[in-house]
Chain A
Amino acid sequence: MTPILHSARLALGPATMPHFEAFAAFTATEGSRFLGGPGSRRDAWESVCTHAGQWTLRGYGTFWLTDRATDAPVGRVGLWHPDWLPEPELSWVIYTAHTRKGFATEAAATVLDWAHHAVGLPPLMSLIDPANAASIAVAERLGASLEGAHRYDSGREVGLWRHLPGGIR
């Protein structure tokens, strides 16, 4: 099951219904375009459950982020590892109202540290659309470097960013 981690400003934990509601509100908007959105409420439910189920199947997965000061759900960060990816992907999503505060970098650094020290995973990768400047900036702040490209079955090509061994510390 999903452990609960803490960073300076965030709690990282399992999916709850308030997190689902916040995620569904986000995926209904254009802000979710790099996540394949906008999508329906049903799509959002399926996504939340897919990530939750992966914890049981893989032993690692996605954390849902809560702002410790306000209790507001602000996004999700974690390890996405569906059947069709050869290794787990460190991914991050911050809802539009909570961007530009450094939450993605803060949470991703916490997850990198956990993945290396608690799970024992090798250096992680992130798949980022070349047009997603905000996410590329997060990857660079985390110390990741562009290693190559990844092509999805759909033909869509994204950048494959490799994170530092041992997280960023």
Chain B
Amino acid sequence: MTHPTAIPTLVTGRLTLCPPVMADFDAYAAFVTGPRTTWMGGPHTRQTAWAWFCNDVAQWHLCGMGGLIIRSADTAIGQVSLTHGPQFPEPELGWMLFDPTTEGTGYATEAATALRDWALGPRGLSTIVSYIDPANAPSIRLAERLGATRDESAPTPANMPTLVYRYHAGARP
């Protein structure tokens, strides 16, 4: 079945998390094809970027969750996503900032917090996870700041060496 869930727009203190539009693709593709996707098996081709971009839109219709573009003022600075589908055993919270100069600003934490709250609140999920490369220390710290804890018994996606960090409804910092 398809999910009638309208794609939400989430507003935080400094950011707006918006449904993706075509105009966001160039910034997204520049990131995916650039050197900062080491933790995601990159750099990747522009074709892969297009597939991912469309996939994270489509998941809203197929799974009632998906990707949102992080905007600061009118600029697309990153993406947060809650994705599922056959390749992930559970709904997964992920984040990316397109430009290294925005690291250390707390934007990723702010955006991921808002999507986590939406997932465990209005969306009604009791638990979600983040799949994180064991060497990706900044993302591990971010997940821990959001109250996630290591779940060593959780299933992992096929062919993906990853740690599983778990979030629970009602256990938010």
Known: A82-B47, A83-B29, A84-B46. A53 touches B56 (CB 8 A): yes
A52–B2 Cα distance when bound, in Å, is 11
B50 to A84, Cβ gap below 8 A?
yes
Question: Contact string, B25-37, partner A, CB cutoff 8 A, digits 1/0?
Answer: 1000100000000
A53 to B86, Cβ gap below 8 A?
no
A16 to B58, Cβ gap below 8 A?
no
A50 to B51, Cβ gap below 8 A?
yes
Main DSSP-derived SS at the B contact region: helix
Known: A46-B55, A57-B20, A57-B21. A16 touches B50 (CB 8 A): no
**Nearest chain A CB to B143's CB is how many angstroms away?**
24
Q: Would you call A51 an interface residue if the criterion is a C-beta within 8 Å of the partner chain's C-beta atoms?
A: yes
A58–B22 Cα distance when bound, in Å, is 8
**Nearest chain B CB to A147's CB is how many angstroms away?**
24
A57–B7 Cα distance when bound, in Å, is 13
A47–B48 Cα distance when bound, in Å, is 11
Tell me which residues across on chain B come within 8 A of A153, comparing CB atoms.
Answer: 47
A1 to B61, Cβ gap below 8 A?
yes
Q: Would you call B59 an interface residue if the criterion is a C-beta within 8 Å of the partner chain's C-beta atoms?
A: yes
A58–B50 Cα distance when bound, in Å, is 13
A-B contact pairs, 6 of them (CB 8 A): A14-B61, A17-B1, A42-B86, A56-B60, A57-B53, A84-B46
